[in-house]
Amino acid sequence: MEAPGVHLSDDGTLPAMIEVSDLTVHYGKGERAVEAVRDVSFSVKPGKTLALVGPSGCGKTTILFALAGLLQASAGTMSVGGSAVTGPRRDVALILQNAGLLPWKTVWQNANLSLLLSGEYPRRNAASVLEKLGLAQARTRYPSELSEGMKRRVGVARALSTSPTVMLMDEPLASLDTLTRESVQDLVLSLWQELRFSIVLVTHDIEEAAFLGQEILVLTERPAHIKARVENPNMGTEAYRWSDRFYAATAALRQALEQ
């Protein structure tokens, strides 16, 4: 299956949508510099998902922020859709830990924020996305009036509003209760199956990584580097969450993390 706007290369294989090679990131300068990420390399094909899992504070988020163009890499290269990452770009959407909603904007204004800032609003708006996520009735509400699950859905709506080809998620479902978390995971999965954007998901939750990652990279303590790769070909299959394959994947991940 081919993601929109992606063409086969001459030898018939899909070129990678995301290509990260030997990424190293330092915070600070000179002698007091702290190494957050060391020599991380991975690639994600169009329409595929990748999960980065590792202990809290290990530098996972740094990798994601570098990919989003928010941080400068100290060494290594990153490209999305064949062009180098030099700053934030509109075909890459970032979903933050607490959905990153602005409390002073309504659901409608939050969902349309990316379109507004790029000058496309009101020619283009998030009405259909809000409809799809069941938020049409909540348009005029403020984030403080929403349940945690709804807030995350508004965050997803904002990210989807620009029809990105890459979705970067930073612990998007942290601090949600189990049932809400699973319902939002199901939502992300079904949106991905329908729209086939590429996903890079950062999480410290083993089950979340196994549920949403086709490939899972296990990271070490800071500075983050890859200590194991786990293939997860069964991700997204029918009733995956209740299957033995899912438990096998989480078990494999747990083992890799503990090693």
Partner 1 sequence: MTTNGRRTGNKSGRMPHFRQSWNDLADRRGVQPTVAYAVSLLLLLALWQIASMVVRAVYGNPFLPAPYAVFTQMIRNAPGLGWDFLLTSWRLVLSILIALAVGVPVGLAIGHERVLDRYVSPMIYIVYPIPQVALILFLFLLFGTGNATKVALVTLVLFFQILVSARGAAKNLPQEHLTSVRATGASRWQIYRHVVLPASLPDILTSVRVGIGLGMALLYIAETQSERGGGLGLFISRKIVFARDTAFAGIVAMAILGLVLYVLVDALERVFCRWKYAGRRRR
Residues that bind partner 1 (CB under 8 A): 65, 68-70, 87-90, 93-94, 96-98, 100-105, 113-114, 117-118, 141-145
Nearer residue to partner 1 within complex by CB, 75 or 102:
102
Nearer residue to partner 1 within complex by CB, 94 or 218:
94
Q: Closest distance between partner 1 and the C-beta of residue 121, in Å? A: 12
Q: Which residues lie closer than 8 Å to 67 by C-beta, 6 or more apart?
A: 18, 20, 78, 80, 85, 92, 168, 200
**Whether the Cβ atoms of residue 227 and residue 219 lie closer than 8 Å to each other:** yes
Nearer residue to partner 1 within complex by CB, 37 or 96:
96
| Amino acid occupying residue 219 | L
Q: Closest distance between partner 1 and the C-beta of residue 143, in Å? A: 8
* Phi, then psi, of 39 in degrees rounded to 5: 45, 55
Q: Closest distance between partner 1 and the C-beta of residue 105, in Å? A: 8
Nearer residue to partner 1 within complex by CB, 2 or 145:
145
Q: Compute the distance between CA of residue 206 and CA of residue 56 in angstroms, rounded to an integer.
A: 12
Q: Closest distance between partner 1 and the C-beta of residue 162, in Å? A: 8
Task: Output DSSP code: residue 100.
Answer: T
Q: Which residues pair with 215 in a beta bridge?
A: 50, 231
Give burial (CB, 10 Å; 0-12/13-18/19+) of 258. Answer: exposed
Nearer residue to partner 1 within complex by CB, 15 or 100:
100
The H or E element spanning position 37 is strand 34-44
Q: Compute the distance between CA of residue 127 and CA of residue 137 in angstroms, rounded to an integer.
A: 11
DSSP symbols for 184-240? HHHHHHHHHHHH--EEEEEES-HHHHHHH-SEEEEE-SSSB-EEEEEE-TTTT-TTG
Nearer residue to partner 1 within complex by CB, 30 or 87:
87
Q: Closest distance between partner 1 and the C-beta of residue 84, in Å? A: 16
Q: Closest distance between partner 1 and the C-beta of residue 126, in Å? A: 13
The H or E element spanning position 57 is none
